[in-house]
Amino acid sequence: MVKVGVNGAAGRIGKFTTLELLQIPEIEVVALNDPVGAKALVDNYNLQDSTHGELGLHAEYIPNDRIMLNGKPVKIYKEKDASKIPWHETGVKIVEECSGFYTKDGAAKIHLNNGAERVIVSAPATGEELVTIIMGVNQEDFNPKIHNYISNASCTTKALATPLKLLMDKGIKIEALLMDTVHASTNSQHVLDFGDEAATLDNIVLTSTGAAKATSLVMPSLKSMDGFAARVPTNDGSFANLYFVANFNGRLDTEIINQMIKGSYLENRYFGRIGIFEGENVSSKRNIIGRKENAIVITSRTRVLPLSPSIDGGDHYLINLVSGYDNERGPPKDQALLTRYIADKCKC
């Protein structure tokens, strides 16, 4: 059993990551860090979530900066500076970096100085020796001998990469891709970006997204990609729209593409990280929020248009997929599965 600690444990991603880790028998959550401290963390965890309802987190304060979390004692630190968190005290081997403050230039590796052997950043990150891993897409890229600094990628990158990986495994070659995401508001959508127009209840903001380019980090064959994000004033639940030119040695149509996706969904080849929704009418509130897959393909929105045959052989198609995702619940589930995968590979 691997001992795990979570930094940024009071934030929404930190809280949901903790919840998912608690449900994996091979993982023991032994320490949490957040500047709010133990008593505020208890209050936070016991509240019914405004979006997701009852989470199944039950916390009780006990002496010496500890809490009972779902019946198990957990040490609580309240350091603002991650370099001061004494992970070695509790034997933490893997740190979940969920604060959002340590994503640039290898900053999250600071946890490795205090006893941890691996750090997994809950967001896109940068820096030397970084590997970005999405379960069901490129987990085989993880090398326990050289990778101790890992990124869990972004929710949108997961929503793109997961169905694309599936189709590429079926022999579809993707030659160029454009995407857009209709994305729920996040902490990054603040007034410094757009003045008085940001994050208001009656406004949609078009902005850049790094998800398309980040997808090439986990799938290097996908280079010709770009896109944008439309941030909308909702709390959670997002959709990614993929438009791509594909080359395939055979006939493709909407039914064939959907059958490829459904077949792989049933086979569970992708660690359960891809889902389907077959209804005609779909909404984020009814059909997406609460689901934890990386990508929920809306099969009624799949479109396939034949193009001119390739001079190099095969047929060209323009394909449109719509991928829904709960941007709060999906990534923490993926991070917990990634943690278990890494622990198994490292024999922690």
Strands 94-97 and 2-7 turn out to be parallel
Q: How far, in Å, CA of 34 to CA of 340, rounded?
A: 23
| 263's tokens | 């077949």
Predicted local confidence at residue 105, as pLDDT: 97
Q: Distance of CA 223 to CAs 166, 213, 220, Å? A: 17, 7, 7
Query: In this predicted structure, which of 19-33, 143-157, 198-212, 256-270 has the lowest mean pLDDT?
Result: 198-212
Average pLDDT across the chain, whole number = 92
Place of tokens 């949490």: 32
**Torsion angle of C-alpha atoms 170, 174, 178, 182, degrees rounded to 10:** 10
CB atoms within 10 A of CB 301: 17
Query: Residue 172: which of 219, 228, 239, 240 has the closest Cα?
Result: 219
DSSP 133: -
pLDDT band for position 193 (cuts 50, 70, 90): very low
Query: In this predicted structure, which of 32-46, 81-95, 142-156, 309-323 has the lowest mean pLDDT?
Result: 309-323
**Torsion angle of C-alpha atoms 32, 37, 38, 41, degrees rounded to 10:** -80
pLDDT band for position 191 (cuts 50, 70, 90): very low
Buried b (16+ CB within 10 A) or exposed e, 125-164: bebeebbbbbbbbbbeebeeeebbbbbbbbbbbbbbbbbb
Mean pLDDT of 42-50: 94
Report whether 29 contacts 69 (CB < 8 A): yes
The reply to whether 155 belongs to the active site is yes
One of 98, 155, 346, 348 is an active-site residue; which one? 155
**Torsion angle of C-alpha atoms 104, 110, 112, 115, degrees rounded to 10:** -150
Predicted local confidence at residue 314, as pLDDT: 76
Mean pLDDT of 194-217: 74
Domains in the chain, CATH or no CATH each: 2-128 (3.40.50.720), 155-325 (3.30.360.10)
pLDDT band for position 335 (cuts 50, 70, 90): very high
Residue 306 clears pLDDT 90, i.e. is over it = yes
Highest mean pLDDT among 33-37, 184-188, 344-348: 33-37
| 19's tokens | 């919840």
| 181's tokens | 């995401």
Q: Cβ neighbours of residue 121 under 8 Å, at least 6 residues apart?
A: 97, 102, 103, 108, 149, 150, 151, 152
Predicted local confidence at residue 188, as pLDDT: 53
Q: Distance of CA 347 to CAs 26, 125, 256, 340, Å? A: 11, 25, 41, 10
Predicted local confidence at residue 152, as pLDDT: 98
| 105's tokens | 């230039």
Predicted local confidence at residue 291, as pLDDT: 97
Query: In this predicted structure, which of 85-94, 154-163, 194-203 has the lowest mean pLDDT?
Result: 194-203
- Is-above-0.85 flag for pTM? yes
Q: What count of residues does the chain have? A: 348
Encoded amino acid at 215, one letter: T
Q: How far, in Å, CA of 103 to CA of 123, rounded?
A: 7
pLDDT tens, 67-78? 999 999 999 999
pLDDT band for position 303 (cuts 50, 70, 90): very high
Predicted local confidence at residue 214, as pLDDT: 87
**Torsion angle of C-alpha atoms 321, 227, 318, 232, degrees rounded to 10:** 40
Mean pLDDT of 28-55: 95
Report whether 39 contacts 128 (CB < 8 A): no
DSSP 49: B
